[in-house]
Amino acid sequence: MKKTVLPYACQIPVIAKADVVVVGGGPGGLGAAVMAARHGADVLLIERYGHLGGMAVTGEVHPFMVNHAHGQSLDKPVYTEWVARMRAYLPPAAREAQTATGEAADGFERMINKEHALLAAEDLCLEAGVRLLYHHALVDVIGSRRRIRAVAVHSKSGLGAVRAPVFIDATGDADLAARAGCRVEIGGPSGHCQPMTLCFKLGHVDAARMPPRPEINERYTAAVSRGEIDCPRENVLLFRWIEPDVIHFNTTRVIRHSAVDGAALSEAEIIGRRQMRQFLEFLRREIPGFEQATIFSIAHHIGVRESRRVVGRVMLTREAFTKRQKFPDAIARVRYSIDIHSPDGKGTEIEGMPENEWYEIPYGCIVPVDKDNLLMAGRPISVDHAIHSSMRVMPPAISIGQAAGMAATMAIKKGCKVDEVDGRALRRALRKAGACLSWPPGWPSGSSPTDCAQRRCCMCWRRWAPSS
C-alpha cells in the first residue's frame, strides 16, 4: 500500500533553555541528570511520562541484576544511592525482614518496588537541583550537520523547543540520536533484536506450597505442547517479591517485533498481555499455591531489552567480555553475564563472568561519531549485540549515564566538543565523585596506587595483590 505524505511546517516557540538537556528519565537519565547537576550544570530532564524510573517503573522490570565484585556494587554512587532511597520508603520492619530473608545482596538490595523507585529517583533529582519537565515527549531535533541546537517536544501545551549546548540521549532506544541523523545498528546476526517481555505480578499466592521451578517448567512445557500457552520462551522465569504472597513474572516473550516501530510496539503489548492471560489460567489450574492468585500489577509498558545502538567513537565487541578488557578512559565496569534471549524463538544464551572479574566501557562508546554535542546514556551505546546483552541491565546503565552527565559538564566548562573531553580526566572526576573506577572494590585504601592513569592499577591490579 502506497503511503500518503502530507507537508507540515510550523514555528516552534522556545519553552526552555539549560546547560545540559537530558531526554529520558529512566536509569540512564537519572544518572546523567544527577551527576551533571551535582557538578554545577543547569540541567533540564525531559520525560514523556509523569514520573522517573524508566523500565524499573513503567516496565515493572524486577529485580536489579547483580553487577558487583569483591562484595560491593560496581555502580556507585547514583545507583547505590537510588537503592538506599528506595529502601528508606519501606517501614522499619520490612527493611529488617528484607535483609533477614537474604534479599540484600552484598549491601545493596535487588528488589524493586516501582512506587518507591519513582519517588526515590525524583528525590535524588530535586535534591541535586535538576529541573524536571514531565509529560513532554521528544518529537524531533533541530540543528545543523554536526550540532544539535534544540529538541522539539510535544505536551498538552503543543509543540515547543528546548535549547542547550549539550544534549544527552537517555531515551533507551537512541530516539534522539536517530532523529538527529546519527548512524545506528539494530539487532544481532539475524537482524532481529532480543525479544520484549511484559512483566507482571500475581498476588494471593501461597508461596509455601509452590513446587520447585523445574516442576513448574515441566508442566509449562506440557501446556505449551497442548497449545494452551502461545509463548516461545523455553521456561518460566519468576522471582519472589517484597510482599511474601506476591510473585513477579518476567516470562512472556514477544519475538520479531521492533521496539522502534510504532505499529509493531503496539502489537507487542497486545501479544504480551495475551500471553499473560494464558499464564494466569495455567498457573491457577495446574500449579499448587496459585489457585487463588489475582493480578497484583501489570507493566504499563512492555519491557524492551534491545533496539537501536548508536555508532560511537569506539565500538566494544564480545572480545571485551571474553578478555575482560580494561581501558585508561573507562567510565563504567560490568561483570553481568552475556545474556541473549533468543531473538527468533526459544533459548537463552548465557556466558558468565568469573568471580570478581569485569570488563570496562571506554568513554568513546558514549560519543556518537556524527554529532559534536551529543552523548549517550544507558543501553543504546556503541557496542555489539553480545556486549549489549551484558551491559543493558539497569545498574551499569546508571553508571554509563552518570559518566555522560560528568562529561557534559566538562565539555561546557572547557567550551569544547564532547569528543574533545579527556577520557582519563573524566575517569578521575568520576572516581572523585564516588564511582567505582580505581582499584578493585574493597581494596584496602593504603595498599593500592592512587592514580590509575599513572600506575595503571585498573589495567593490571594483580601486580599489587597480596600473595595468598
Domain boundaries, the chain: 11-193+305-437, 200-298, 440-468
User: What is the b/e burial string over 56-84, where b = at least 16 CB atoms within 10 angstroms of the residue's CB?
Assistant: bbbbbbbbbebbbbeebbbbbbbbbbbbe
pLDDT at 2: 78
Q: Which among 264, 21, 261 is positioned nearest to 136, based on CA atoms?
A: 21
Task: Kindly state the cell numbers that stand for 313.
Answer: 567513537
Q: What is the pLDDT of residue 401?
A: 99
Going by CATH, does the domain composed of 11-193+305-437 fall within 3.30.70.2860?
no
Q: What is the pLDDT of residue 463?
A: 30
Output the pLDDT for position 3: 84
Q: What is the DSSP code (8-state) at residue 312?
A: B
Q: What is the pLDDT of residue 102?
A: 40
Mapped onto helix, strand or coil, the DSSP state of residue 319 is helix
pLDDT reported for residue 439: 56
Bridge-based pairing of strands 238-240 and 338-341 is: unpaired
C-alpha closest to that of 136 among 159, 166, 167, 164: 159
| pLDDT given at position 1 | 62
Predicted pLDDT at 99: 57
End-to-end CA distance of the chain: 71
- Pair 54, 26: CB distance under 8 Å: yes
pLDDT of residue 101: 42
Cell numbers 558468565 correspond to 352
Supply the pLDDT for residue 90.
Answer: 87
CA angle, 374 then 376 then 377, to 5°: 140
Tell me the torsion sign for CA atoms 255, 169, 57, 157.
negative
Distance CA 381, CA 325 (A): 17
Q: Label residue 421 exposed, middle or buried (CB < 10 Å: 0-12, 13-18, 19+).
A: buried
DSSP class of residue 264 equals H
Asked if residues 237 and 249 have their Cβ atoms less than 8 Å apart, the reply is: yes
Tens place of pLDDT per residue across the chain (468 aa): 678 999 988 999 999 999 999 999 999 999 999 999 999 999 999 999 999 999 999 999 999 999 999 888 999 999 999 999 999 998 887 777 655 444 444 433 678 999 999 999 999 999 999 999 999 999 999 999 999 999 999 999 999 999 999 999 999 999 999 999 999 999 999 899 999 999 999 999 999 999 999 999 999 999 999 999 999 999 999 999 888 999 999 999 999 999 999 999 999 999 999 999 999 999 999 999 999 999 999 999 999 999 999 999 999 999 999 999 999 999 999 999 999 999 999 999 999 999 999 999 999 999 999 999 999 999 999 999 999 999 999 999 999 999 999 999 999 999 999 999 999 999 999 999 999 998 554 444 333 333 333 333 333 333 323 222
Contacts of 165 (CB under 8 A, 6+ apart): 19, 20, 373, 411, 412
**Confidence at residue 179, expressed as pLDDT on a 0 to 100 scale:** 98
pTM to 2 decimals? 0.91
CB 129 within 8 A of CB 36: no
Quote the radius of gyration of the chain (alpha carbons, Å): 22
By the 8 A CB rule, do 409 and 373 touch? no
- Give the strand order in the sheet containing 131-133: 131-133, 43-46, 20-23, 166-169, 374-376
